[in-house]
């Protein structure tokens, strides 16, 4: 259940409601918007004395939530949705600006990741990404990452990308595979964890990440429908974690031309109907073809994404992994410029979007009359 506070509710009134709920044994989560505050109530709400809550100072209404992913679910009323904002280092994502997170598929050497960081910075990217240990389904697939051979190698790889990020004032996003490595990533200065597609349902890893203060980019598993995916995201958030970012990176389909099928309808559903969380679009994995990354990224922004996750390399032709989908430096620069322009267009057009729920009540009052006018029904 959500408790919607009035626009005039004071901090003391909000605290009083939370304290009352805690006294009854409920856990709460709070989302503070520009105009209103929502308090999430977690537990068996069938025993909640709703009348007493409704009469408390500053309470406007109680909103039942039917979705199982209560923390990840959309907040606010149609036409006035509330979306979470998340900080990655010093960069706020999911807010008023588009954020480009770019870098190579994997860290290959100090010279390579330093050059990649320079390219990202000069192109206008805000965050540096790069893998240190790569997930491979086959032991014969080749490169498994600079940090895959030993604990010392993992430490060295993490140090390289953190060093590159700090040299160019870019927060860092690094994929993690093993729950036992969480503390090491934290200690060495990584700014954000990435859950890759193969680990979208890794229960042990997701449970462990509940405890980290660092933000999480959770990529959708390519076989998960939208609500199943949000339930796995809910696992990370279940004990109160809020700084989670969704990422659409393509699903399996009958299409064989692209690496995956980028689900733009899913992006729109997450943003407008299903979730309060910021959404990233990853057209690099969604298409697997560098020449399709540009148009599909822009489409993803218009669909509802506010974060772009993209692979680039100083020279993709010699990349040790996923070079076929990594952008050339010139392509990244043009993509960032295009993203900014499309974002401005989306912001300008946003007022033209009218949710059906805003209109339906008026039209329901006209059903009988309209049936008579159009069909002669009585």
Residue 377 is predicted with a pLDDT of 64
In a domain, 374, yes or no: no
Both 238 and 134 in one domain: the answer is yes
Is 92 in a helix, a strand, or coil?
Answer: strand
In CATH, what number is assigned to the domain containing residue 121?
A: 3.20.20.70
- Write down the pTM of the prediction: 0.84
Both 46 and 149 in one domain: the answer is no
In a domain, 121, yes or no: yes
In a domain, 146, yes or no: yes
In a domain, 198, yes or no: yes
In a domain, 13, yes or no: yes
| % of the chain surpassing 90 pLDDT | 78
Both 52 and 16 in one domain: the answer is yes
Q: What are 272's two structure tokens?
A: 């407008």
Chain centroid offset of residue 361 CA: 32
In CATH, what number is assigned to the domain containing residue 23?
A: 3.30.70.1140
With CA atoms as reference, report the closest residue to 280 among 292, 289, 271, 291. Answer: 271
In a domain, 371, yes or no: no
Residue 368 is predicted with a pLDDT of 87
Number of domains in the chain: 2
Both 311 and 162 in one domain: the answer is yes
Taking the C-alpha atoms of residue 88 and residue 171, their distance in angstroms, rounded to an integer, is 7
State how far the alpha carbon of 165 is from the alpha carbons of 159, 195, 277, 310, 362, in Å: 10, 20, 25, 16, 53
What residues does 308 pair with on adjacent strands? 100, 281
Dihedral of CA atoms 229, 227, 242, 204 in degrees, nearest 10, equals -40
Both 38 and 93 in one domain: the answer is no
> Which domain does 50 fall in, by range?
2-65
Both 33 and 93 in one domain: the answer is no
Q: What is the CA radius of gyration of the chain?
A: 23
Both 100 and 227 in one domain: the answer is yes
| Domain termination residue (choose one: 30, 65, 100) | 65
Pairing of strands 279-281, 307-311: parallel
Taking the C-alpha atoms of residue 2 and residue 373, their distance in angstroms, rounded to an integer, is 41
Residue 66 is predicted with a pLDDT of 67
Q: pLDDT by residue (tens digit) across 97-136?
A: 999 999 999 999 999 999 999 999 999 999 999 999 988 8
| % of the chain surpassing 70 pLDDT | 99
Q: Which residue has the higher pLDDT, 240 or 206?
A: 206
Q: What are 361's two structure tokens?
A: 């009540």
Both 199 and 339 in one domain: the answer is yes
Both 40 and 183 in one domain: the answer is no
In a domain, 288, yes or no: yes
Both 139 and 273 in one domain: the answer is yes
Taking the C-alpha atoms of residue 75 and residue 19, their distance in angstroms, rounded to an integer, is 22
How many C-alpha atoms does 46 have within 13 Å on its Cβ side?
A: 1
Say if residue 88 is exposed, middle or buried (CB neighbours under 10 Å; 0-12, 13-18, 19+).
Answer: buried
Both 103 and 24 in one domain: the answer is no
Q: Is residue 43 over pLDDT 90?
A: no
In a domain, 357, yes or no: no
| Under 8 Å between Cβ of 225 and 233 | no
Split at pLDDT 50, 70, 90, the class of 378 is: low
Both 209 and 60 in one domain: the answer is no
Taking the C-alpha atoms of residue 230 and residue 245, their distance in angstroms, rounded to an integer, is 11
């Amino acid at each position: 259940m959500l408790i919607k506070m009035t626009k005039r509710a004071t901090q003391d009134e909000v605290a009083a409601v939370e304290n009352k709920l805690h006294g009854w044994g409920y856990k709460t989560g709070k989302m503070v918007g520009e105009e209103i505050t929502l308090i999430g109530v977690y537990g068996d709400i069938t025993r909640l004395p709703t009348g007493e809550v409704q009469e408390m100072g500053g309470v406007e209404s109680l909103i039942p939530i039917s979705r199982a992913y209560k923390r990840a679910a959309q907040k606010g009323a149609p036409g006035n949705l509330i979306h979470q904002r998340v900080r990655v280092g010093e960069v706020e994502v999911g807010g008023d600006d588009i954020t480009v997170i770019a870098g190579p598929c994997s860290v290959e050497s100090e010279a390579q990741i330093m050059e990649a960081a320079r390219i990202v910075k000069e192109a206008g990217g805000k965050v540096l990404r790069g893998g240190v240990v790569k997930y491979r389904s086959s032991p014969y697939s080749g490169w498994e990452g600079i940090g895959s051979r030993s604990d010392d190698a993992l430490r060295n790889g993490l140090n390289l990308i953190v060093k590159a990020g700090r040299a160019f004032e870019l927060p860092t996003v690094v994929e993690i595979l093993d729950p036992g490595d969480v503390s090491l990533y934290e200690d060495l200065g990584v700014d954000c964890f990435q859950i890759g597609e193969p680990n979208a349902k890794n229960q042990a890893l997701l449970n462990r990440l509940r405890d980290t203060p660092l933000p999480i980019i959770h990529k959708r598993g390519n076989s998960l429908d939208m609500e199943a995916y949000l339930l796995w995201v809910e696992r990370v958030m279940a004990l109160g974690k809020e700084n989670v970012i969704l990422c659409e990176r393509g699903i399996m389909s009958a299409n064989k031309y692209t690496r995956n099928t980028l689900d733009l309808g899913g992006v729109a559903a997450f943003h407008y109907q299903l979730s309060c969380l910021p959404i990233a679009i990853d057209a690099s994995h969604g298409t697997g073809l560098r020449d399709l990354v540009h148009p599909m990224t822009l489409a993803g922004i218009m669909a509802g994404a506010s974060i772009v996750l993209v692979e680039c390399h100083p020279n993709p032709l010699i990349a040790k992994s996923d070079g076929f989908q990594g952008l050339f430096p010139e392509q990244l620069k043009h993509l960032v410029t295009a993203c900014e322009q499309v974002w401005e267009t989306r912001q300008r057009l946003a007022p033209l979007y009218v949710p059906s729920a805003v209109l339906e009540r008026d039209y329901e009052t006209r059903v009988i009359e309209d049936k008579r006018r159009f069909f002669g029904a009585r």
